[in-house]
Structure 1
Amino acid sequence: MSSISSVTLLGSGVLGGQIAWHSAFKGKNVVVYDIAEDALTHCREAHQQYAAIYAGSLGASETDIAATHGRLTFTTDIADAVRGADLVIEAVPEIPDVKTVVFKEIADLLPEHTLVATNSSTLLPSTFAEATGRPEKFCALHFGNGIWAMNFAEIMAHALTARSTLTQITEFAIEIGMMPIPVRKEQNGYVVNTWTLALSNAAQTLVTNGISTPEDVDRSFMKFGFPIGPFGMLDQVNMKTAFDILAYWGEVRDDRQMTANAQWIKENLIDKGRHGAQSGAGYYTWPEPAFMAPDFLAIPDISKVPEIVSLLLPS
């Protein structure tokens, strides 16, 4: 059993909120920190949604839900947030400079024994190890969106991570019901996002360049037996994260198409208030996106042929 009983989440966004709720559901005492009270309010609202999901999908009782709420604390005071933490999980935006500032801010505030992990989905722990002030107690611990169902945790060390740190982090992951995915070498994108970034960028390229639509891309993907397509997944990740990742790697790789894909997301979704599933709209309208409709993968009636043919001809 790990020595981790008190966990602090730095960042109350989609994944930060999910990790906080799930860790509390599994018996950990959790403090959720964010810079703005509005963000914490949104997180509390999301936790009400998760309560319903856990009751319906995981069989959580009213007592379980009440106990989970009771283990959660929210604050905009970062010193207060980390004061009693055994583990601090950073889940702020996927922007290297932002993460570095946060790690430097907490470095002198942490108890000596506290472990630190980044929930980064693409960035390397070695990028931030020095900023934490405790590189031997730092590693990456990346969770999947929809943590109650996508219950995996990618664990990545850097050159100075202590074995004892990795032992406790792996034990913690198992204690909260995660399947550990050991990333054996530092790799941008880890395991999951190495293939999902490629998939998402390829899918968005088809839309950015006017070759297909989100719905038809997802149809082609789901016909292989997958329950959800790339755009359904992106909606659940949220548009800001998708934009940040594509914009960052587009610049790093000097990839004009990836940069154009990020810009498409900004102009067509973010700027129009379509931030993804939690906001009620992204590529799809939620909570009943089109890809969940019974007829989404149905063969169309032959009367639709003229409409389909019109899509194949120059406009």
Structure 2
Amino acid sequence: MTETLNNLTVLGAGVLGGQIAWHSAFKGKQVVVYDLYDDSLERCKMAHQQYAVIYLAELGATQAMISETHARLTYSSQLADAVARADLVIEAVPEIPETKTSVYQQMASLLPAHTLVATNSSTLLPAQFASATGRPEKYCALHFANMIWSMNLAEVMAHADTADDTLRAITRFAIEIGMVPIPIQKEQNGYVLNTWLVPLLNATQSLITNGVSTPEYIDRTYLIANRGCTLGPCGIMDIIGMKTCYDVMTYWGNENQDEQLLANAAYIKQHFIVQGKLGLQTGEGYYRYPDPAYQAQDFLAVPGLDAVEDLVRLVRPHPLAAAS
């Protein structure tokens, strides 16, 4: 088994796949970003340009370091080429079980014998896909948080057949790219991070779907109650991306026959996805970027008395609430 995992392939050029790829390249890994769709790869390249600006401003990166990062990145829509030299493949495709299974099955015969595979799934279990990889002993979960450069955690979860050498190599990789490994001692949907985050986001979306409050006032409530936090739940959904939120809510809504979750998914589809508003990656979700309202200095300020009438209008029953 390769002791140091230097050649990384990331399957999926979405929000978090793009972040994992960029950050790993920044930390010295050779990275191939794979996606079936060329337009997704183009969006990923654009996101990497944005990350370069962030790393220069927030991480003290030099222009030389950014140039070296770009040089370590390649992009491919050909799966065989993308994984041909991989020491590690991190799967970051949509949270749809059938999609993940299909990708693993297509990839299984293409991988070098030594290659390890990890899923970045945020809510699904590695045991669901281990057999599809064709190498269950070389497979586990390695789940990252959005805004990987500042929320630098990586949850490591095994399934029953994961080899200890796999866990050692994956944990070492996480440390090498600047992550704090979070050991997950038993398989659980949601791991640590999303066990508490997903219910928060579901509750937030229910408040919006059911007309109880507005996104900005929900985020104000959260940020005032949790002084020091920089993001409220609606801002978090924008960063995660509306497509991922929709996929997770749809899957668990159907799995648990949860009508509220399905209503939340339908709301996100109608108000965001069909309008091309996918969150931070497209410049608009619940907020407009690059200057979202929650970053304004007065977002949490006590309003002036001239705001009373506007606030009273918001207190009047919303039609959805009145009908329930």
TM exceeding 0.5: yes
SS of 2:74's equivalent?
strand
More moved, 297-306 vs 131-140: 297-306
Q: Distance in 2 between matches of 1:276 and 1:100?
A: 27
Give the 3-state SS of the residue equivalent to 2:301 in structure 1. Answer: coil
Q: Does 1:257 align with 2:267?
A: no
Question: How large is the Cα RMSD of the aligned pairs?
Answer: 1.0
- C-alpha deviation, 1:2, in angstroms: 4.2
Matched residues in 1 for 2:54 and 2:306: separation? 40
In the other structure, the counterpart of 1:292 is 295
1:33 aligns with 2:34: yes
Structure 2 spans left out of the alignment, 5+ residues: 319-324
1:89 corresponding residue in structure 2? 90
Does residue 1:165 correspond to 2:166, yes or no? yes
Equivalents in 2 of 1:241, 1:313: separation in Å? 33
CA distance in 2, matches of 1:15, 1:313: 40
Aligned to 1:274: 277
- Paired residue secondary structure (2:142): strand
1:151 aligns with 2:152: yes
Give the deviation of 1:91 after TM superposition.
0.7
Matched residues in 1 for 2:246 and 2:270: separation?
10
Matches of 1:172 and 1:2, distance apart in 2: 10
Q: Does residue 195 of the first structure (1) align with residue 180 of the second (2)?
A: no
**Deviation per residue, 1:25-54 (Å, 9 max, x gap):** 000001111112211111111111111111
Determine the C-alpha separation between the residues in 2 that align with 1:45 and 1:219.
Answer: 31
Contact 1:200–1:230 under 8 Å retained in 2: yes
Secondary structure, aligned partner of 1:207: helix
Question: Following the alignment from structure 2 to structure 1, what is the Cα–Cα distance between the partners of residues 233 and 3?
Answer: 36
Please say if 1:17 is aligned against 2:24: no
Q: Deviations over 1:214-248 (max 9, x none)?
A: 10000000002121100000000010000000111
CA distance in structure 2 between the partners assigned to 1:47 and 1:39 by the alignment: 12
Could you say which residue in structure 2 is the equivalent of 1:43?
44
* Displacement after TM superposition at 1:308 (Å): 1.3
User: What is the match of residue 77 of structure 2?
Assistant: 76
Deviations 1:65-121 (A, max 9, x none): 111111111111100111110000011111000000000011011111100000100
The 5 Å alignment of 1:202-281 reads: 202-223=203-224, 224-225=226-227, 226-281=229-284
Amino acid at match of 2:216: E
Q: Distance in 1 between matches of 2:37 and 2:68?
A: 25
SS, match of residue 109 in structure 1: coil
SS in 2 for 1:148: coil
1:137–1:161 Cα contact (<8 Å) kept: yes
Using the alignment, how far apart are the partners of 1:100 and 1:158 within structure 2?
16
SS of equivalent to 2:269: helix
The 1-side partners of 2:273 and 2:191 are apart by 26
Give 2:238's aligned amino acid. D
- SS of equivalent to 2:112: coil
Q: Distance in 2 between matches of 1:221 and 1:303?
A: 24
1-side partners of 2:252 and 2:39: how far apart? 30
SS, match of residue 147 in structure 1: coil
Query: Does the 8 Å contact 1:93/1:241 carry over to 2?
Result: yes
So what's the TM-score if we normalise by structure 1? 0.98
**In the TM superposition, what is the alpha-carbon distance from 1:311 to its structure 2 partner?**
2.0
2:67 corresponding residue in structure 1: 66
Q: Tell me the distance in 2 between the aligned counterparts of 1:297 and 1:82.
A: 48
Q: Which amino acid aligns with 2:188?
A: Q
**SS class of match (1:181):** strand
SS at match of 2:141: strand
Which secondary structure does the structure 2 equivalent of 1:187 belong to?
Answer: coil
8 A Cα contact 1:207 1:213, kept in partner = yes
What is the SS of the residue equivalent to 1:242?
A: helix
Quick one: distance in 2 between partners of 1:190 and 1:214? 26
Q: What residue in structure 1 maps to residue 321 of structure 2?
A: none
Write the letter of the residue equivalent to 1:127. Q
Aligned to 2:100: 99
Q: How many residues align?
A: 315
Taking the aligned partners of 1:263 and 1:255, their CA distance within structure 2 comes to: 13
Three-state SS of the structure 1 residue aligned to 2:286 is coil
